[in-house]
Amino acid sequence: MHSAVINIAKIGARFGCVAAVLVMTGCATIEEYNPFSGKSKNKTPPSELVEFKSSMAVRTAWEASVGDGEKLIFTPAQAGDSIYVAAANGTLARLDGATGKAAWRIDAGMRLSAGVGADEKTVVVAGEKGMILAFDASGKQRWKMQASSEVLSAPTVGADLVLVRSVDNRISAYDAETGARKWIVQRTVPALTLRNAPGITIDRQVAYVALPGGRLIAVTLKSGAVLWEAAVGDPKGSTELERIADTSGSPVVIGRDVCAVAFQGRVACFDTGNGAQRWSKELSSDVGVAADERFVFAADERGSVSAFARDGGVSVWRNSKLAYRRLSVPVSFGRAVAVGDAQGYIHFLSREDGAFLARVRADKSAIIAAPVVAGANLVFQTQSGTVVALTTE
């Protein structure tokens, strides 16, 4: 046991400096092209909202405020009957999923850069300079550990582990109870990457990890061994900027499929067992993908929302009437697909044909974080910190 810990420490020292230089260079260069940045080169104005007759009633079940996310991505986490939310100023709160009432609200003791990851026992956020902070379900700090570099992706909690991907492309696993580091997977850092937050999804005893460079890997939770690797996007082009093909958002596992999407790449589904590609379609997204039993949904960088048949990838429908509105990850919710935009609107489209069903507004700030389905409610968090739970009637 002691030798394993020593080896991990040596590996960290060996990779730390080189990876940090690459990441700092990449982020500094790509920031002006970052789709989440106010400095984005994309000056195309958002399309005007299409008028339509609402055919679905959407009601606000509850609303809360957690604090400004600034330019970072803070995603709500659902665990049991609770919703956990966080903000850049260090606020972390546990809300009742049915009413939105705060069971507790604490100051994490430092500014935060990502969160939240949670199960029914453990709640985890990332603090400044790569500090990982774990709390129990009552809000009491359990442990803190230093990651190898800045963390922009929400930690993932499951199977008694906390998984963290830092911007030097290192995936680390920590014991959820003690914080002891169990294993590390180090991957190559591309010369340039988007400053976004590719995620990790746990299903049974495997973690599916979205990575820069258009890669998707499956890792066994027991040891960190890489089971397989697949290409969601292949870097291509004559410049480093053209060759950015980062996998976006968190992979989605449904049945024996794991689906993902890449910026300047593809939307694709793979066999969970061996990584064999089931199908793929050209599509560029910087936010991620969603799926249900029948369809895979993706919002592309130009503001179109598309649905593909999960079995075979046939294009079912495409709604292009939200052009350049900087859409969030879409989510399947009853007979609708819901997606947020940069002006705080939440659009409900027909799951069957993509037609507009309803529209509500959370506030006037962008919705970047992936929404969360919590029982009968659909929970969104805006960049200014509004947390709203919607239900359909």
Q: Residue 126's closest CA among 64, 197, 190?
A: 197
What pLDDT, on the 0 to 100 scale, is given for residue 216? 97
Q: Which residues pair with 67 in a beta bridge?
A: none
| Greater model confidence, 55 or 240 | 55
Kindly report which listed range (34-43, 188-197, 267-276, 355-364) carries the lowest average pLDDT score. Answer: 34-43
22 three-state secondary structure: helix
Residue 86 is encoded by which pair of tokens?
A: 């966080």
The DSSP bridge pattern shows strands 257-262 and 170-175 to be: unpaired
Q: Is the pLDDT of residue 60 over 90?
A: yes
- Which whole number is the average pLDDT over 199-212? 96
Q: What is the CA radius of gyration of the chain?
A: 20
What pLDDT, on the 0 to 100 scale, is given for residue 13? 32
pLDDT in tens, 103-128: 999 999 999 999 999 999 999 999 99
Q: Which residues pair with 171 in a beta bridge?
A: 165, 185
| pLDDT tier for residue 19 given thresholds of 50, 70 and 90 | very low
What pLDDT, on the 0 to 100 scale, is given for residue 196? 75
Residue 73 is encoded by which pair of tokens?
A: 């991505």
pLDDT in tens, 293-346: 999 999 999 999 999 999 999 999 999 999 999 999 999 999 999 999 999 999
Instruction: State the chain's mean pLDDT as an integer.
Output: 89
What pLDDT, on the 0 to 100 scale, is given for residue 133? 98
pTM of model > 0.85: yes
* Residue indicated by tokens 């069971």: 103
Q: Which residues pair with 25 in a beta bridge?
A: none
HSE-CB for 291 with a 13 A CA cutoff? 25
Pair 39, 31: CB distance under 8 Å: yes
The CATH-assigned architecture of domain 1-33+73-186 is: 7 Propeller (2.130)
pLDDT in tens, 21-51: 333 333 433 443 444 444 444 579 999 999 9
Phi-psi map region of 247: left, alpha, beta (phi>0 left; psi -120 to 50 alpha): beta
Q: Is the pLDDT of residue 377 over 80?
A: yes
Q: How far is CA 246 from CA 3, 29, 231, 261, 357, in A?
A: 35, 15, 10, 9, 32
